[in-house]
Structure 1
């Protein structure tokens, strides 16, 4: 499979503000608050794009499917940071599935030297655009100064 094959097969479209291409593949029944019980997407990032830093009010499970490893920057509410790599090499510490805790700032980019990554994200309760909080580079670099360069590289207006 090539990125072009994946775009055609899934009908991937641009993911507003965050970046990359995506398609929602499932949304559960609607809850009384209007949110779906759960949701799932597939997404494609290429080396010339990234998933901008954002946070959500619920846990989000990331799943690696195809392509090159994906490097996630995680900025926790307690002021700490971490890097997680989604990919097929479990012996090298990569993850095929990783849960980002609610309230954690997250951003991702295809690992250095890679060309593209095809992955998925699942949430329960499901994603709504009202829940999405876009990262501000000035606020995030003030709170996480040790990650300033990576924060700037993973933010967009």
Structure 2
């Protein structure tokens, strides 16, 4: 899964986290002591997005007991199937509930290519390295602190370019 941020290509997905996680290429923490406007804007946006994700998981945990408990004994395929089933069921329930109390034509507000804001969509990979050498290489890539710093700087700049003050 490759993506481009601020003109630079990255090949690992990243997760929005709080300060307790290590500075690895796949964990992006907020900036606790923002030194400038760019860092402050990034921190505000990162924290808002992270809270949205936590809220989505909270909704799933409240609705489905199977999501609430540790899944360490299951293999990744089973976890993936369970999560997909819960997300699909949740989205079906949301649609059913929405249809029951909507008094206006929502098609005026809907974007055909986007899902409802209350629906949850997760994409993740369950690919496993085939040997120890691949596992060690993957571990090294995940723990790359330099990649972490580059991605974070690129995300700060991207957020600034997208949401920062309008230049005259």
- Whether these two folds match at TM > 0.5 is no
**TM-score relative to the length of structure 2:** 0.24
**Which structure is higher in RCO with an 8 Å CA cutoff and minimum separation 6?**
2
Between Structure 1 and Structure 2, the one with more strand by share is: 1
In terms of fraction of residues, the more helix-rich structure is: 2
